[in-house]
Structure 1
Amino acid sequence: MTKNSPFISSLAVGASIIAMAVPALAQEAAQEGAVPQAAASANNADIVVTGSRIVRDGYTAPTPVTVASTEELAKTTPSGVADALNKLPQFNNSLSPSKSANNFSNLPIHGNVLNLRGLGTPSNNPKGPLRTLVLFDGMRVSPTEYVGTIDTNVLSQLLMQRVDVVTGGASAQWGSDAVAGVVNFILDKKFTGFKGVAQAGVDQRGNNGNQRLGGAFGADFAGGRGHVLLSAEYSNSEGMLRQDRSFSTQGYNFVGSLASSCSLAANGQSRTCAAPGTATNPYTIVSDVRISALAANGRIVGSSVTGNPFVGRVINNDGSTRPFDLGTAVGTTGFQQGGDGYKIPNDTNAISPLTNYNGFGRVSYDLTDDINFFVQGLYARSKYHYFTQGNSLIPATESARIYKGNPYLSTALDSALTGANDYYVVGQQDAGQPKPIAYEKTDYWTATTGLSGKFSDFNWQVTYSHGDSKHSMDNVGLYDNRKLYAALDAVRDPVSGQVTCRVLLDPAYASQYAGCKPMDVMHGDPSRSTPEGYAYATGTSSYRARFKQDAIAANISGSLFELPAGPVDIAVGVEYRRQTLNLTSNADPAMLLTSAQKEAYFAGLRGLPRVENAQFPYPTGQINTLAYWLTNVGGSHGKLNVKEAFAEIAVPILKDTSFFKELSVNGAIRVTDYSTSGTVKTWKAGATWKPVDSLLLRGTYSHDIRAPNLYELYAGPQSGIGIVNDARNTAGTYGSGQNVNANTLTVGNPNLKPEVANTYTFGAVFAPEFLRGFSASVDYYNIKVDKLIDSLSAQQLIDNCRNAGGSGVIECSQIDRASPTTFPSLVNLIPQNIAFLKTAGIDFDFTYRTAVGNGGLGFRLYLNYLDRFDAQQYATAPVAHYAGVSVVTSNPAGFPRWRGNLTVDYSNGPFGITLGEQYIGKMRLDIPGGATPIQFVNPKVKPVWYTDLTLRYTIPHGDGGNFEFFTTVNNLFDKDPPLIPGTVPGVNPPTNIAVYDIVGRAFTAGVRVKF
């Protein structure tokens, strides 16, 4: 980088603007106790609340900050700090083990990933929330997963003092990703002594057992010049299956309510209905809903012989067939109630089992009276395992062709095939075969070293950190498609008379498929009828990812000079980060993108799915399958570097005059140079005004960004499937269509640019002298994000192309068809800077503490009112309005107008009791973003209250030590979640898992010790 680079020039201009123009815009300090978030810093100049980088005793920035001590958070949520934070209304639609779907293992999205303001949603990108910046003691936490997310479970919880939550844009002070705000986990660097925790819990039905064990130690050495911190923690959750909750076993699903609109398809095997969710056919909830495309045990869905009488029949375990039972009609095409058909089974994970190990160490030493050296390191291991979607033979993507002469065909079935190369097409979903299991493991470590010190009125710090994440995934027991189609094509060896794989009789390919054993799908569960064949046909799809980050940062802060109203303070700094990503896979779709690659990979096999398999008859076209059933993750390789410089200034304007007890302005600017997307500038300006001692008024305006991460830029092809309605018939024109699985392929986009956000907040803090112990803050926020990185879903691409007449728009180019009359062979999902999102609302924070009898009583109430949450996925799309909506999709989200969290705590001597009340306001059902509103027979979702109760008893021990025994009951009244199923059977438990508790009443008991 040269001296004349845009980066340096922009920094110089920005610094000049701050020095010359900001004095009309920033803020000053508030009196001790005047602001809830400043309470933690009273009389302690070393504690800096995260709303600013300015270090001044008592200084209060204009940016709203929520401060929560980890001790208070643990009182109602002993499972962990992140779980407790997610009960606060500032967080919405975060990811956690109990709030994530577990059907697929393509992405590592099962940890505790915080989502401030819900700005990580809504999105068709399933990576998880990415617009919240996470800090550990003021330093950026490197991503724990290669997709760019941070699982906050890795952080040392026992040594956390508090959590600062900046509830507004903060990119100028803290850097990219702080579009929604900042979550800063503050380390208790001066902790001395020992503390520990041992606890265990289970829900009242005996599921979701969990344990936690940990200890932390701190001590001075070298006569107080040095300090050491150590901690080790272990936690384990046994998880929960969907079938462990009765409401998840009933097969609830949203379907059209007008079953009379349905007509029987020409082949008599399914029904076609009017579009569900319309005013004439609104959605309603029906139990035992199934997909009519095939039967779980097996169904003959096609044949090369025109008019074959067995097409559409169900396969029995003895090899005979029977008519397909269409059950009762429901008002959605391709669905039915009862009868045959299939759905995702109930014995899959609602909560994935999880084990976490965590260790932390820190040593600091005063080299001189003014210079301190420190080194710290953190290691964490997270292990998950869960059932993924079962091995299936799905028409159009994974169905089986069973040829004449296959020994597993009954005589009647074989006789109905006339030619030697005639065949049946068989679909099977869940005949009882073992479910694949995903084993995920993340090893994460980070080490930081640095120097900090003071000179004159300035504080300085220089740090270097390295973060390293290794993620491994093994999806065991998946259909290995090359072996699967070799095993399915069974014949009799003309010499031995034994059943064998046809390909073994071909000298050109026999060695390639050595060890092949035939598999039978004509007698139900193939793992029972032909266990050796099933074992041969299944394998392990694996991928390994390594993400590394190196970062250097230097900053200095202090007072430039005094004005009549107080000191003018600044903070300036520079940062450099370098990131690398490497992901390798044994099932990379890039190896099978072209027809030639697929033909070579599957050489010697017949019966493979071809692109026309969704249409009858089945001509020979391009192979329409990849290496494994479901989990085919593409390799990803990329690197980037980031250079940053920032400056912040706080200028006091007036002090101790009429109506101006304090008036201050604050401004910040950051210039950032990305090797991938160029130079960007972020800035922030704010002011505080104290007309009287008990009232503080504040406001900010900021310009923030989030740059695309390495995975968004360089992700390799990744396969998926999803049910879509193509609405195209065999004539190439658009009709009613069918609900059929389509193959999708998601890839990165190296041309992505940073997202851009503008945020403004204004509010007030009130701490009246006549009511000591009480403080209240009310803040309005308004955030708009442009150039949002998003990708359209397969259905949206198909719909947009159809609405354009089938050609002429970019969406049509992302859909691969063998011909205009055939179902899509592939839908390409590509992230782009196409969307915008805008949200606005009001935060309320009320605190009151007082003496009651011989004890102390405390109240803390957090409230949020969501006024607006609007999103538009691309320029010509309708604006989707999410405020007050529970989104009904396979990846549900919820945006209640009102959310609240009240904590009431009373302590008297050794006894204490804490009552927590979480409120989730009423919502309405919708699927926003369509040209017309989606209609439901009953769209109302009632408000929900969750009550948590903790009892504790403290036994003193030694000098200042104690044992605190506690028991917590979460969801005290065992409140069931509202019944909100999806529109595809069995994808999730039938509620909005992003919002509501699916565990029910749960108990935790344990002891905390401190010496």
Structure 2
Amino acid sequence: MAQVSEETPEAEAATAPAGQAIVVTGSRIADPNIESASPVAVVTAEELTLQQANTVEESLRQIPGIVPSVGSNVNNGNGGSTYINLRGLGANRNLVLLNGTRVVPQGLNGLTNIDVIPVALLERMDVLTGGAGAAYGADAISGVVNFITKQDFSGAELAATNAITEEGDGYTFRADLTVGGNFADGRGNAVFSVGYTDREAVFQGDREYGRENISSFSGLPGGSSTAVPSVITVPGTTSGTLQVDGDSLRPFYAPFNFNPFNVYQTPLEQYRMFGSGRFEITDAIEVFAEGMFVQNTTSTIIAPSGTFRNVLETPLSNPFLTAGIRNQICGLDTDGDTDGVQALFGQAECDAAALATDPNDPNYRTVGIDYGRRFVEFGPRLNEYRTRLFQVKAGARGALTDNLDWEIFGAYGESENVSRQSGNGTFTRLQQSVLSTNPDTCLDTSNDCVPIDLFGPLGSLTPEVQDFLDVGNSGTEGAELSQIQAFISGDLGFGIAADPISIAAGVEYRDYYAFSRSDLLSQTPGEVLGNGAASPDADGSYDVKEAFGELIVPLVVDSPIGEELTLELAGRVSDYSTTGTEYTWKIGGTYTPVYGVQYRGGFQKVTRAPNIAELFAVPTTGLDNFSNDPCAGAAPTNNANLRAVCIAQGAPASSIGNIIVDPAGQVNVTSGGNPNLDAENAETWTVGAVIQPGFLRNFTLTFDYYNITLTDAITTPTIDDVFSACFDGTPSATNPACTAIRRNPATGNLFGSVATTPGLPLVLTNQGRVFTDGIDLTMNFNTDLGFGGLDLSFFGNWTNRSTFKANQNDPASLNRDCVGFYSINCPSIQPEFSFTQRTTLSVGDADLSLRWRFIDAVEVEPEFAGDFLEEFTTIGAEHYFDLTANFNVTDNFGFTAAVINLFDNEPKVVGSNIGSTAYNSGNVYPSTYDPLGRRYSVTARMTF
């Protein structure tokens, strides 16, 4: 039966070859009779086929209890990799394994790109939540995802998938060829698989709900203040934000609609190879090896670049500066009334400066103008990421005694992510162009400079200007992981009860190295226009030595007090070169009082050492999201205390009353690594039951409560936490929490050039506290109807709480709960209740299967409910249905056809300002709610 289920150990053992040891994710003990106290969600190969999943991310993010992370539906904020986020605790707090071995991470952040996993060879995906540090080491605070490939594959299989949306876009093609066989009278087996995937982009402008950028505040067309025609502010004046309107300036009136250029689905091209083999040298020794190579090319496609509120020195003799606009700049008279406006120059001086084209002329004058001009003529910004990853693993295993086996292996992997950007432009060349006083020639002609017209309408930027400004930039990040592990596993041959005590003990060594390299343009803050944070070079490394042990002790077997009572113990000691010695341990057990009812539970103490980015990343200024600036508008003009705070944060006095919130909802933030970080600690516990009643054959129900508390968490405060620390109560110009916020020195805004506007400080500390708890419920049932078989499965999650406290030591620090809410503080939606239910009818060689996926209603975080248009403050419960037919035409040929999002459900529109750009994009939340609409997929398979 295809399923997403809480697989019971008995079910796994029942499907394994006789005598073969079963390895359960979460333990190093191999035992055909093992019963795990930890719940493991299993996604089978059959389920992946029914879902028509072309990458594992497509399937994993739909499992209840998993919160969508960066994936194929994240455009602005996607670095070319895809991650998994268990329980919403962060992608850096779970561990990705391939056949029980760590996969080399992508870069400085230590995260594994799950797009590299070979879907065609998967036998199943095990998702264990609630802590697995004792079994696998650090990073497993929220759990592990273990991808298990097919073993002993024999024959050949060719499969090809074609998928397309009903709108005719988003075409996806995937093909895989797998060959394998046994040799040496079954003593050996080898398998090799090659594959190719091509996925096309789906643009937001191709869906009605994404065509126009919508303001979450008003419901009216919104967008960016970097627009066409130019939006300008003259620093040092009280002119406010103006926009070019023909031969004059008037208050900002036409934001730029950036939606149509962005995408709901990022394009992907992937080549992949995977191979594995084993050979029994003797009856007691077997050698094995596996290796994979993957090359991904994916792109983010973002709205055209521009000068995002950069202050450029502009001659009053600029050839594109009209007389009307020049006079307004000199006198700053936007409405014919100069009362209250301080003129920069008198009329005579302004007129003389208009004619002074030589910088040596005493009448030559320049004005620093803050420009917001979108380079629509250049086309969108393209960032192409080419990821290459390879990993090899080799080892040997065998029998140490009749009851104990040994295994030793080593693995080495490298990953590299090369990014190439185009469509941006550079600040230095832009400033060079703006200084022109001749329409045909720049003052500085050393690099074939071309003058630019920032005062003209759409079309005023020529291809020659683009060739001069858009020189391209690039960067590379990568990582290396070396690991060696040796352990013994089996049983002691004796025990307290009838069954012997099972044991595993071993040692492990890992060595990490990661780096980030970029060209000079990318390293220079504010130099690459429209590029957000700079990318300074960084690297770092650490190693860890570990010893671990596990015991499974049967206390009762077939006794009057119960069918079984088993105790599980595990511990691990880790010596990090960065944070020292850390201890992880686990205690758990199972109890079966009567046949068909098993209780299980466990407690774990888990640690996670900081990764290389958290330790060594160079501080940089980039972009985040916010919705309300206390210094914006008229508020500080009537409040002397607030005015003083805004000025203390770097706002010029002349900007008070004219500070604005970026219409695109973005804010500058500064963050980086902290070499003084310590490990974070977690306590996790689960308690539940497995019920298989004798009166209802082939029915299984599991019920598990989980509770995860993370202290000394490596976190940054939320945007709202930074504002609250300053502005709640009575703000003070001497409060360090206030003065740490740094505004645009030209406009007082919290956005603008990252070279001059640090914005909000997001400092990494060990002060955070994170908590979540909830319940997982699964039910599986199958029966024979006479004419066919019926399979039913259900997997539901209820998340009770998911809280974050920026300062665990401060009673006044807000303990923010994000379950059922969305906002800038709760970026990726985590519903209170969600489930998937599948019904499959099998008749002969045909299967017809319907999957029902439910997402509970959510609403805006209460503190922001009054800021936005009421209709955008709730997203109702959503139901998705997928219909799949699977048919084996012959023994060697079969096909699967599916209709995904059967009823063509559209995502709820909430506008573009209500959450983080990564997840609130195109007016909707495309990682949680399907933005593509109804689509069709067909897979054909040939086996030999």
**TM-score of the aligned structures, taking structure 2 as reference length:** 0.86
| CA separation of 1:777 and 1:241: change in aligned 2, threshold 3 A | same
Q: In the alignment, which of 376, 379, 385 is matched to residue 432 of structure 1?
A: 376
The residue that corresponds to 2:858 in the other structure is 923
| CA separation of 1:39 and 1:240: change in aligned 2, threshold 3 A | farther
Contact 2:97 2:144 (8 Å CA) reproduced: yes
Q: Deviation of residue 785 (structure 1)?
A: 1.0
The residue that corresponds to 1:704 in the other structure is 606
The residue that corresponds to 2:320 in the other structure is 408
The residue that corresponds to 1:363 in the other structure is 277
Contact 2:107 2:514 (8 Å CA) reproduced: no
**Which SS does the other structure have where 2:437 is aligned?**
strand
CA deviations over 1:711-759 (Å, ceiling 9, x no partner): 2211123332356655345852458753146543332111122221111
CA deviations over 1:267-296 (Å, ceiling 9, x no partner): xxxxxxxxxxxxxxxxxx6131345x5653
2-structure distance, mates of 1:324, 1:591: 33
Q: In the alignment, which of 45, 66, 73 is matched to residue 70 of structure 1?
A: 45
CA deviations over 1:315-336 (Å, ceiling 9, x no partner): 35xx52364464xxxxxxxxxx
The one-letter code of the counterpart of 1:676 is T
Q: Deviation of residue 71 (structure 1)?
A: 1.7
**Which SS does the other structure have where 1:484 is aligned?**
helix
The residue that corresponds to 1:297 in the other structure is 229
Q: Write out aligned runs for 1:563-642 (5 A).
A: 563=495, 564-587=497-520, 625-631=526-532, 632-642=534-544
The one-letter code of the counterpart of 1:945 is H
Q: Write out aligned runs for 1:965-976 (5 A).
A: 965-976=895-906
Contact 1:315 1:322 (8 Å CA) reproduced: yes
CA deviations over 1:182-228 (Å, ceiling 9, x no partner): 11111222111112210111000011110000011111122322211
Contact 1:630 1:719 (8 Å CA) reproduced: no
Pair 1:907 & 2:842 matched = yes
With 762-771 and 151-160 compared, the bigger mean Cα shift is at 151-160
CA deviations over 1:65-112 (Å, ceiling 9, x no partner): 1222112232123323332232221322233212x1x235xx62x443
Q: Write out aligned runs for 1:311-460 (5 A).
A: 313-316=242-245, 320-321=247-248, 323-324=250-251, 326=253, 340-395=254-309, 398-414=310-326, 417=330, 418=350, 419=353, 420-423=364-367, 425=369, 427-430=371-374, 432-433=376-377, 434-456=379-401, 457-460=403-406
Pair 1:815 & 2:741 matched = yes
Contact 1:966 1:1007 (8 Å CA) reproduced: yes
Pair 1:687 & 2:614 matched = no
Pair 1:116 & 2:28 matched = no
The residue that corresponds to 2:941 in the other structure is 1008
| CA separation of 1:890 and 1:346: change in aligned 2, threshold 3 A | farther
**Which SS does the other structure have where 1:732 is aligned?**
helix
Contact 2:13 2:32 (8 Å CA) reproduced: no
1-structure distance, mates of 2:925, 2:587: 38
Pair 1:540 & 2:472 matched = yes
Q: Deviation of residue 626 (structure 1)?
A: 3.7
The residue that corresponds to 2:630 in the other structure is 727
**Which SS does the other structure have where 1:833 is aligned?**
strand
Q: Deviation of residue 591 (structure 1)?
A: 5.5
2-structure distance, mates of 1:700, 1:515: 69
Q: Deviation of residue 427 (structure 1)?
A: 2.7
| CA separation of 1:174 and 1:431: change in aligned 2, threshold 3 A | closer
Contact 2:720 2:825 (8 Å CA) reproduced: no
The residue that corresponds to 1:230 in the other structure is 192
Contact 1:36 1:776 (8 Å CA) reproduced: no
Work out the number of aligned pairs and report it.
Answer: 865
2-structure distance, mates of 1:38, 1:227: 22
The one-letter code of the counterpart of 1:887 is Y
Pair 1:738 & 2:675 matched = no
Pair 1:752 & 2:677 matched = yes
With 726-735 and 470-479 compared, the bigger mean Cα shift is at 726-735
The residue that corresponds to 1:613 in the other structure is none
1-structure distance, mates of 2:392, 2:71: 26
| CA separation of 1:208 and 1:36: change in aligned 2, threshold 3 A | same
Q: In the alignment, which of 239, 249, 252 is matched to residue 214 of structure 2?
A: 252
The one-letter code of the counterpart of 1:117 is R
2-structure distance, mates of 1:345, 1:821: 26
**Which SS does the other structure have where 2:429 is aligned?**
helix
Q: In the alignment, which of 140, 143, 146 is matched to residue 178 of structure 1?
A: 140
1-structure distance, mates of 2:617, 2:191: 39
CA deviations over 1:421-443 (Å, ceiling 9, x no partner): 14372533436322221111110
Contact 1:38 1:49 (8 Å CA) reproduced: no
The residue that corresponds to 1:96 in the other structure is 71
2-structure distance, mates of 1:795, 1:474: 34
With 560-569 and 547-556 compared, the bigger mean Cα shift is at 560-569
1-structure distance, mates of 2:511, 2:10: 38
Pair 1:954 & 2:854 matched = no
| CA separation of 1:347 and 1:971: change in aligned 2, threshold 3 A | same
Q: Write out aligned runs for 1:870-881 (5 A).
A: 870-875=803-808, 876=810, 878-881=813-816
**Which SS does the other structure have where 1:503 is aligned?**
coil
Q: Deviation of residue 935 (structure 1)?
A: 7.7
Question: Which stretches in structure 2 are left out of the alignment for 5+ residues?
Answer: 1-6, 331-349, 354-363, 638-642, 647-655, 751-756
Contact 1:543 1:586 (8 Å CA) reproduced: yes
The residue that corresponds to 1:502 in the other structure is 443
Contact 1:888 1:981 (8 Å CA) reproduced: no
The residue that corresponds to 2:116 in the other structure is 154
Q: Deviation of residue 303 (structure 1)?
A: 7.0
The one-letter code of the counterpart of 2:302 is T
Pair 1:988 & 2:921 matched = yes
Contact 2:473 2:519 (8 Å CA) reproduced: yes
**Which SS does the other structure have where 1:178 is aligned?**
coil
Q: Deviation of residue 937 (structure 1)?
A: 3.0
2-structure distance, mates of 1:589, 1:992: 30
CA deviations over 1:455-501 (Å, ceiling 9, x no partner): 22111111111010011111112121111110111113xxxxx6322
The one-letter code of the counterpart of 2:197 is S
Q: In the alignment, which of 76, 87, 107 is matched to residue 62 of structure 2?
A: 87
1-structure distance, mates of 2:726, 2:311: 27
Q: Deviation of residue 531 (structure 1)?
A: 2.6
With 465-474 and 885-894 compared, the bigger mean Cα shift is at 885-894
2-structure distance, mates of 1:984, 1:768: 48
2-structure distance, mates of 1:914, 1:829: 48
Q: Deviation of residue 247 (structure 1)?
A: 0.6
The residue that corresponds to 1:530 in the other structure is 462
Pair 1:483 & 2:429 matched = yes
| CA separation of 1:77 and 1:300: change in aligned 2, threshold 3 A | same
| CA separation of 1:715 and 1:910: change in aligned 2, threshold 3 A | same
Q: In the alignment, which of 714, 734, 752 is matched to residue 789 of structure 1?
A: 714
Q: Deviation of residue 934 (structure 1)?
A: 7.1
| CA separation of 1:55 and 1:431: change in aligned 2, threshold 3 A | closer
2-structure distance, mates of 1:703, 1:933: 41
The one-letter code of the counterpart of 2:188 is G
Q: Deviation of residue 781 (structure 1)?
A: 0.6
CA deviations over 1:772-817 (Å, ceiling 9, x no partner): 1111110111111112222235664354234474466654564346
2-structure distance, mates of 1:807, 1:851: 75
The residue that corresponds to 1:468 in the other structure is 414
Contact 1:89 1:862 (8 Å CA) reproduced: yes
The root-mean-square deviation of aligned C-alpha atoms, in Å, is 2.8
The one-letter code of the counterpart of 1:949 is L
**Which SS does the other structure have where 1:995 is aligned?**
coil
